[in-house]
Structure 1
């Protein structure tokens, strides 16, 4: 691929997005990154500090709760990575919850890609939380997680009810645009751990290692993911980045894909931690 092409990455200061931008710049791409606010010095500075940022990175304001902002960042790009997702609802907004905001946002972003006439492919960072292999109420799991798996929207989860519904509804909508002037790839990523350029631990990493942290609330989140998918799908951040770039650079790739290198029970995660770090005590419960 001609590395002089422009690509857009939404949610540019996030865990996956910032790491992806780092690799895109290193490989010669020009990147349009969106941030909720260009006045947030910590997030702007994180991206400005990357190699080649001075010459090949341009930052734009873009907020899911004001999705028309994204058109300027998308203009002139050949590929768009939509990674931004609302985690907390903005009370008093035009949307009733994060799910409605995320769906409205992805519609405008997809339509902006089509209207641009320059975008070839929209790559959406989905979640395994939208791909549950549950058969139905109290009836067990399918034999495998595949493209037909969608999480029910009425699960009684405390931690991730809104997030599950938001990611499920949004992924279905974005896939409906596949073939309507653009190709769409949806990457259902497992619980991501590994390298980061952020100066703090992402929520994904903290859930993955919460048994070490002995945090009962985060443990509840880990168990909810295990209940949802039968096991916890896990992916390394480097593999997630390579999957995004692979989806971009292979012109015939479109549709829905799972990004995970292992599926483990929470007890197996605890055993692996204890095996490699025997000095760490994990409570039996």
Structure 2
């Protein structure tokens, strides 16, 4: 039984990952921003095998030295935590990008110093792989691991800080690959599926914007589509399995795109209507961009990874979860 660390244990993806790692027999260290958060601690402590194999630590991206204790003795580190909003009380960092990049550096250097860590696996974002041309004049024909979102362009304000934070943190992570530790960056699309907790994730809300008839969410979905030419989507089950596959596959290092489907927003609307004809989507929430950019990444599949969930299941499970939790 190897010991692994999952940062950001209170998050949507991290909680799924912790649950699956415990089921697979791993000893799990997990960090939380606040160990006084009774709801999160109670949820994690209620997972099967948590009483004997789960150990919780308090650590925050804005205090990155906190992570070193949790890293000690670990064979693998999953760095899932990411700051979504800037901590205005911070005197150390002026924005989320500075905080995220510095935390990555300190976590990677702690991994090197402790000498037990075999691999650092960073949860990156498809917002960092836009096929936009550097001058913003159009899109490349394909999306693959060579694509990086141009940081010289202006983006939707809601996404701007996050794009810079995820892109620069991922580049910093890759800098450590083969320099003391192995590094894998899993560049994940918009995550859908079920929920472990009693709320719908932010990514699922965006995915279901048309079904929810929410103008603000729909604008966010369209801006995401404009960033990536289309929208990369993936089921949370496949994302979790991709993380574990990255850990257990020794020859896997570097950058990998993680998405089972690459769709226009109008195609997402069609899938919602196909499976849930009772959900009426207003015409103003359906706009076809006519873009035909292709998703051209099979790096993980070539190593033996298989996606278990297609776009139909992603949409069905997301809608079913949202209905169960009263969001639709």
- What TM-score comes out, normalization by structure 2 length? 0.85
- Counterpart pick for 2:39 among 28, 32, 42: 42
Q: How far did 1:156 drift?
A: 2.8
For structure 1, the residue ranges without an aligned partner over 5 or more in a row are none
In structure 1, the residue matched to 2:240 is 241
| Residues 1:207 and 2:202 aligned together | no
1:222 matches 2:221: yes
Contact in 1 for aligned 2:6/2:29 (Cα 8 Å): yes
Please identify, of 53-62 and 215-224, the stretch whose mean Cα deviation from structure 2 is larger.
215-224
Structure 2 matches for 1:1-285, cutoff 5 A? 4-93=1-90, 94-153=92-151, 154-285=153-284
**Matched pairs, number:** 282
Contact 1:13 1:46 in 2 (8 A): no
SS at match of 1:118: coil
Cα gap change, 1:152/1:138 in structure 2, threshold over 3 Å: closer, same or farther?
closer
**Contact map agreement 1:159 1:220 (CA 8 A) in 2:** no
Quick one: distance in 1 between partners of 2:218 and 2:43? 30
Q: Post-superposition shift, 1:216?
A: 1.3
TM-score by length of 1: 0.97
CA RMSD of aligned residues (A): 0.9
- What is the alpha-carbon distance in structure 1 between the residues aligned to residue 246 and residue 20 of structure 2? 14
Residue 136 of structure 1, CA deviation: 2.3
Which shows bigger deviation, 216-225 or 139-148?
Answer: 139-148
Kindly state the Cα deviation for residue 158 of structure 1 after the two structures are TM-superposed.
2.2
**Which ranges of structure 2 fall in alignment gaps of 5 or more residues?**
285-328
**Alpha-carbon distance, 1:11 to partner:** 0.3
